[in-house]
Amino acid sequence: MDKKGEKLEKAKRAAGYRAADMIEDGMVVGLGTGSTVYFTIERLSERIREGLRIRGIPTSFQTALVAKKAQIPLTTLDDNPVIDIAVDGADEVDLKLRLIKGRGAAHLREKCVAAAAKHFIVVVDEQKMVKKLGTAAVPVEVLPFAVTPVLGQLRMLGCDPVIREAVKKDGPVITDNGNFIVDCRFKDIRSPENLESALAAIPGVVESGLFCGFVKKTTVIIGGPKKVKIISSANIVA
C-alpha cells in the first residue's frame, strides 16, 4: 500500500473507531456495509471482548459475515423494529448532510435500517465531503422484470443510466434482494429531495441511493489524516 492509501485507511479507521466508541451498553446497532464501517465493527469486537453488550443488525450478507467473525451477536428488524443507532458509510455527503449511498449495492437494506434508527451515524473520510451531490452516480435498485421501462423513465429524468456489471461474474450485479443496480449519472442535481421522490415514484424502482430524509437525526464523523471532525444537524446553517 502506498502512502496515499495508508493515509486514507488511517482516516477511515479513525472515523470508524470514533463511531464504535459512541455505542453504549445494551444498544441495538444497525451495521452498514463498506470498508469504513468494517473498522467500526473491528473496534466493536474489541469492546465486546472488554465487556460491551450489544446486538447488531447487518445490512448485507457481507456485513453479517464480518460481524459474525467479530463475534457480534446479531438480530433482525422483525425483533427490533425500532433500534438505538445505525452506523453506515456514504459515497458523498453534502453540506446539508444529505447522502448518496449504494456503491456496495446495499442501500435498500441500509435505508430500512437507517429509517428504524433513533440516531444515524455516517462515517466517511474527507474525500467524501462535497459542496453539492452528484459527482458520484446515484445507484437505483430495480426489479429485473421492469428494468427496460425503468431505464427509459430514468433517461426522462435527465440521467445516463447504466446497469451495473459484476466483477468475476458475467452479467449484472445481483443485490442481496435479487434485484439489479442501475447507476445513474445526472449532470445537475438541483434538488436531491425532489429527485429522490421522483425516483421512488417510478414503477419497478425499489429504492435509490439518495438519503435526504434523515438529516435531523444524522451525525457525520469525518476521518482525516490528523484529526476527526464531527458534524450534526445542529451545525447546519440554513
Global pTM value: 0.95
Q: Could you report the per-residue pLDDT of 81-137, keeping only the tens digit for each?
A: 999 999 999 999 999 999 999 999 999 999 999 999 999 999 999 999 999 999 999
CA distance 151 to 85: 35
Q: Which residues are catalytic?
A: 110
Domains of the chain (ranges, CATH numbers): 3-127+213-233 (3.40.50.1360), 138-208 (3.30.70.260)
Say if strands 92-93 and 83-88 run parallel, antiparallel, or are unpaired.
Answer: unpaired
102 half-sphere exposure, CB direction, 13 A CA radius? 27
DSSP 117: E
| pLDDT confidence tier of residue 238, bands split at 50, 70 and 90 | low
CA distance 234 to 147: 40
pLDDT reported for residue 85: 98
